[in-house]
Amino acid sequence: MPNFTHLHVHSHYSLLDGLPKIPNLVANAKAKGFDKLALTDHGAAYGLIEFYKECLSQEMLPILGVETYLAPRHLTDKQARIDDQAFHLVLLARNLEGYKNLLNLVTLANLQGFYYKPRIDHEAIEKYHGGLVALSACLKGEIPQAIKSGDEAKIRNLIQWYLSTFGEGNFFLEVQAHPEFNEQITLNQELRRWSKEFNLPLIATNDSHYLESSDKEAQDILVCIQTGKKVTDEKRLDMRDLDTSLKNEAIMRQDLPDFQDAIDQAELLARELKVELPLGQRFFPSFPTPQGETPEAYLRLQAEQGLARQFSQGVADTVRERLEYEMDIITKKGYASYFLVVADFVNWARSQRIIATTRGSAAGSLVSYLIGITTVNPLTYQLPFERFLNPHRPSPPDIDMDFADNRRDEVIAYVTAKYGVDQVGQIVTFGTMAARAAVRDVGRALGLPYGLCDRVAKLIPFGTQGFHMTIERALREAPELKNLTETDPQVKDLLLLAQKVEGCVRHASIHAAGVVIAPTPLTDYAPLQYDVEGNHIITQYDMWSCEEAGLVKMDFLGIRNLSIMGSAVNIIKKTKDIEIDLDNIPFNDKKTYELMSRGDTMGMFQLGGSGMTRYLKELKPSVITDVMAMVALFRPGPMESLPEFIKRKHNPKAITYLDPRLKEILKDSYGIITYQDDVLMIAIKLAGYTWEEADKLRKAMGKKIPREMARQKEKFISGCIVNGLTETKAAKLWSLIEPFAAYGFNKAHAASYGIVAYQTAYLKANFPTEFMAALMTAESDDLTTVAQAVNECKRFNIMVLPPDVNESLATFTVVNDNCIRFGLSAIKNLGAQVIEAIIAERKTNGQFTSLSNFIERIARREFTKKSLESLIKCGALDSLSPERSQLLAAMDLLLAHAKKSQQARLAQQTSLFAGKTNSGEMSLKLPASPPADQRDKLAWERELLGLYVTEHPFQQYTNGLKGLITTINELSSLNGEIPIVTAGLITSAKIVTTKKGEQMLFAGLEDLTGSTELIAFPDTYRAEGGKLTTDTIVLVRGRLNQKNGERKIIVQSVLPLLNPDEVTASAKNWLNGSTKFPKTEVKEIVITLPAGVSSSKIDELKAILQQYPGNQPVVLAINQAGHIKRVSTNYRLEVNLEFIEACRELLGYNSLPDDLLA
């Protein structure tokens, strides 16, 4: 048994100060022979539950603590140069009371005491000291600082206060094992003196910030990142002279030879500190029922009222049975209050015209439908309740809500007001140092050249969903990075340090959706703080730790498309006085299905993108279940079924069922297994599974554990045989569901999202102008999307015009069915007060009748030269005075007129008291000026609005180039290094110098559909670079370059386009006469299949191949009785690291040759 325990230890939750991640910290302590360990992060309790669970999993005793910051005066005092230097104090929980007091102190420090650091004070300690043990901390402790100042009276008073507050046996003077630090040696001796005077035990620590002595440089890098310093800076915090590693007991005794008693005391105290946290319970918020009914009784009342409302024509026995079945489970499991809480805020949101929908399996609940949580009748779409909640499910149901993102905060505010600000909070999430960021941050701290760090970082590939990229993995998969590491010692050192800080928490931020509502103050369950902006209270525990602590996480996710729908509904009400109830629109609207069938999917929820659009056009959906199926099938795995699904849709004779009982399950999807629920229902109906067993099947298929899969296969096939299938058919059915279940979509989720997709399509099909105005308003910060929307409007014969002071509101404004105006808020340099004044003045006194009338009515202090210039240049004053150059030339005159008008208005207000009035416009004569050139007008539009509105400079060239080029938008659907001919406007050009001293060029290219980047390497730049100048229209021949999800064009030759009338002839002559592409050999990809490979793995391989389309043919090498047989396939592929990793993970490393990327 060890005779020492570390009681002062920091993890990476001591943000940018501590280095170890929790699992590594606990494992390292255990490896060094410790059986107990404390966690005392700076001012925060972020890691306590993670640490507690990790210790228990590694059979270590967890000791929970915090190294708090102590205000020099009161925690509310925040005076510069006085209150910004906080003391340190280590607090350890002796029991559950102490743990809860830690939560209260950390919360108080963050919510009330934050001043540079989260601080407590003596008063707070006196209130929350129960169950806590205090250590006097490091040199920055209150007592060590008093010792340093030599104020013996103060030292004596402080020790007496700590002893009287915490009590005997709960306060210790802390000595630290730093023999290399003279100041610490002196402090230790002084602490010994004072311990004798007060008969107060000493306790030894090492204030650990990293695991091994060799880690000190990496920890120093973290501090440099935190403080914005470089390691070479002289005036900075530098702790490299101290060894603050997690020393073993022998080294601690060696470093504190005169303090063996303090080392022993650390172990004696550690044995006393036993906190047992009641994890894994659930504490639902209490719902206040109107008449004091029980939650169960009130839920029953609400469900019965919903039943009468939704089934007004009569309640069938099947509906009543389903209701009773669900209520029985909900009541027995004690979830009634949870359902009532969710229903309350969802119904409130809808009453405020906030668009809401559900994610996940909640739509499978009839009770949820009846009380207003969901808008999908589960019986209509055969959505099983058991996928959402069943008697065997150990965890509470998840009702994940989506709200319009521009109004999500209103719903959270409602919940906060209803349950109390102390019982509602959002959830923290942690930003960690990913591989690329770690390289850049470490390089910056080391003072390395930016170009080197950027180059190394960019050699690290991006990870894939569920498989994040690490530096270790990148060194295996990126040969160029590995080679650079082996040949450049500087890069090697950079990556070694970056690996040590990689994954460390960099900052705490706010979770995108998570909200917790507690039945009692949140501090009973979790510590709290403000988010970075100081606007929202958030938990310091992440969502997993919150759930472990007993809080029920609720999802309030903001969705942009719901905002678009809400805005569109409001605009329709204003422009057409039509009230749209999205929950009651017809699902048989011809216009809506025609819109989808044409592929007009821009702006539609879940149905956008070239791949989805292509399948929609082939499918030609005609019923809502088609849309739901498309939402589910368009993803890896199920996507393989799409061609057959489409075929069966158009040819009912092709619909077949392996067994007649499958028809009941698969009839709405033309006999195709479409949803994960289909798999579960097949297992239940045909193989005799219970819901509990079916859920285990789903989990087994998701994890793909071979042994468990073998057991499930045997169980499934034998169950099917018992239930009347032949062994052949049973095996065939297993082969259909096995590759699918891991990727299958939840049917309730697809139903909810399919309906939202239909709703967006309905609005666009029936009210295109209002929908597009709402879309552009919601996407106004994304100019690329706005440009695409403007182009879409043109396809719908809707003009999108620049702002106009007589027609524009703040946001995109519907003028009539064929015209949308940019909003005034889109104009750069135009302040909110001026915008409000223009709209308010127009609303109160009518439209502006002339330029002078506008100037006089809007003149105010905020109406500056910049404001006026922006209005003129973007065309917002064209309706009052169309010559923009004339107005620009007369700027001083106009501003003088504005000033005179303002003075006259003030004088008139004064004269009213004298009974005098003076009305009428002042005269305004503008000097003559040549009209503005169209190019200038377009340039001004782009400058002030961010894009070309009236006309794109490239517009005149599009008809002449039709059929000759690939548009930029079309690049997104292409793969592989294929030849490309495209054209557009050069929007930017940047020349850089390579390491060899050669020049190359990066240029922005934009057409009517989007923008991309051109890259001209040195040889091409020398020959063609002079043609790639800003504001030039060019035709470009090159190759597609696809890397890390971005598509760029490697330039080979360029033709500037001068005359739009001659563009077709110029382009054809150039394309026919210019240098042809060198013919490249297309390299085939040989995939070696291991002997006896299962059919399920073949199916998984097919799914992988579909994810990486390209132009390289795929050949299978099959091992048959020792002979290799080559089989050509119809697949053509683009090889990248993601594909190689996926293939090797499935089939083994030797399935692909090592030189595949050579």
User: Are 871 and 722 contained in the same domain?
Assistant: no
- For residue 752, what pLDDT is reported? 94
Cα 758 to Cα 3, 403, 407, 449, 631, distances in angstroms: 68, 17, 22, 52, 11
Helix 783-795 with 768-778: angle, nearest 10 deg: 170
536 vs 633: CA distance, rounded Å: 38
Q: Token pair for residue 786?
A: 């706005």
Phi, psi dihedrals of residue 230, rounded to the nearest 5°: -110, 155
346 vs 370: CA distance, rounded Å: 13
User: Are 969 and 938 contained in the same domain?
Assistant: no
Using alpha carbons, select from 603, 631, 638 the residue that is nearest to residue 616.
631
Residue 488 lies in a domain: no
**Segment 553-591, tens digit of pLDDT:** 999 999 999 999 999 999 999 999 999 999 999 999 999
Q: Find the CATH number of the domain harbouring 1001.
A: 2.40.50.140
- For residue 1002, what pLDDT is reported? 92
Domain boundary among 525, 560, 595: 560
Say if strands 1046-1056 and 171-176 run parallel, antiparallel, or are unpaired. unpaired
Complete DSSP assignment for 1113-1155: EEEEEEEETTEEEEEEEEEEE---HHHHHHHHHHH-GGGS-TT
- For residue 1122, what pLDDT is reported? 60
The residue written with tokens 């022979």 in the block is 33
Domain boundary among 1017, 1045, 1073: 1073
Amino acid at 1010: G
User: Are 819 and 879 contained in the same domain?
Assistant: yes
Angle at 18 between CA 14 and CA 19, to 5 degrees: 135
Contact 407, 351 (CB under 8 A): no
Residue 829 lies in a domain: yes
- For residue 919, what pLDDT is reported? 46
Q: What percent of the chain is helix, strand and coil (3-state, nearest 5)?
A: 50, 15, 35
Beta bridge partners of 1127: 1116
Residue 912 lies in a domain: yes
Complete DSSP assignment for 696-730: HHHHHHHHT-HHHHHHHHHHHHHHHHHTT--HHHH
Cα 431 to Cα 446, 452, 474, 697, 846, distances in angstroms: 22, 24, 21, 35, 51
848 vs 805: CA distance, rounded Å: 8
Contact 721, 761 (CB under 8 A): no
User: Are 941 and 826 contained in the same domain?
Assistant: yes
User: Are 131 and 161 contained in the same domain?
Assistant: yes
Phi, psi dihedrals of residue 644, rounded to the nearest 5°: -70, -40
User: Are 156 and 197 contained in the same domain?
Assistant: yes
* Total Cβ atoms within 10 A of residue 1149: 10
User: Are 1004 and 1126 contained in the same domain?
Assistant: no
Residue 1065 lies in a domain: yes
Low-confidence ranges of the chain (pLDDT < 70): 1, 464-467, 704, 739-743, 905-923, 995, 1043-1045, 1073-1082, 1120-1123, 1137, 1154-1158
Q: E-strand spans in 725-790?
A: none
- For residue 1156, what pLDDT is reported? 67
Domain boundary among 1011, 1046, 1073: 1073
Beta bridge partners of 1116: 1087, 1127
What HEC string does 594-639 produce?
HHHHHCCCCCCCCCCCHHHHHHHHHHCCCCHHHHHHHHHHCCCCHH
- For residue 907, what pLDDT is reported? 67
User: Are 851 and 904 contained in the same domain?
Assistant: yes
Residue 158 lies in a domain: yes
User: Are 964 and 891 contained in the same domain?
Assistant: no
Using alpha carbons, select from 71, 38, 65 the residue that is nearest to residue 142.
71
Overall residue count recorded for the chain in this entry: 1158
Coil, helix or strand for 333? Answer: helix
Contact 821, 843 (CB under 8 A): no
Q: Give how far the C-alpha of residue 1028 lies from the chain's centroid of Cα atoms, to the nearest Å.
A: 37
Residue 1066 lies in a domain: yes
Q: Find the CATH number of the domain harbouring 66.
A: 3.20.20.140
- For residue 1076, what pLDDT is reported? 39
CA distance from start to end of the chain? 56
- For residue 356, what pLDDT is reported? 95
Cα 1017 to Cα 459, 979, 994, distances in angstroms: 18, 16, 9
Residue 9 lies in a domain: no
User: Are 391 and 526 contained in the same domain?
Assistant: yes
Contact 867, 830 (CB under 8 A): yes
- For residue 741, what pLDDT is reported? 59
Cα 330 to Cα 326, 340, 393, distances in angstroms: 6, 11, 11
Say if strands 119-120 and 979-993 run parallel, antiparallel, or are unpaired. unpaired
Q: Name the domain count of the chain.
A: 6
Residue 665 lies in a domain: yes
943 vs 935: CA distance, rounded Å: 12
Complete DSSP assignment for 1017-1084: -HHHHHHHGGG--TT-EEEEEEEEEEETTEEEEEEEEEEE---GGGHHHHHHHHHHHSPPPPP-PPPP
User: Are 37 and 124 contained in the same domain?
Assistant: yes
296 vs 279: CA distance, rounded Å: 26
The residue written with tokens 């004070």 in the block is 121
Percent of the chain surpassing pLDDT 90:
65
Task: Sheet containing 1109-1120: give its strands across.
Answer: 1085-1089, 1109-1120, 1123-1133
HSE, CB side, 13 Å, CA atoms: give it for residue 624: 20
Cα 532 to Cα 529, 978, 1033, distances in angstroms: 9, 46, 45
The overall longest dimension of the chain from CA atoms, in Å, is 112
User: Are 1056 and 976 contained in the same domain?
Assistant: yes
Provide the domain limits for residue 1031: 955-1073
432 vs 508: CA distance, rounded Å: 9
Task: Sheet containing 813-816: give its strands across.
Answer: 799-801, 819-821, 813-816
Ramachandran region, residue 814 (left: φ > 0; alpha: ψ -120 to 50; beta: rest): beta
Coil, helix or strand for 29? Answer: helix
**Segment 23-44, tens digit of pLDDT:** 999 999 999 999 999 999 999 9
Q: E-strand spans in 71-112?
A: 87-93
Using alpha carbons, select from 780, 860, 948 the residue that is nearest to residue 868.
860
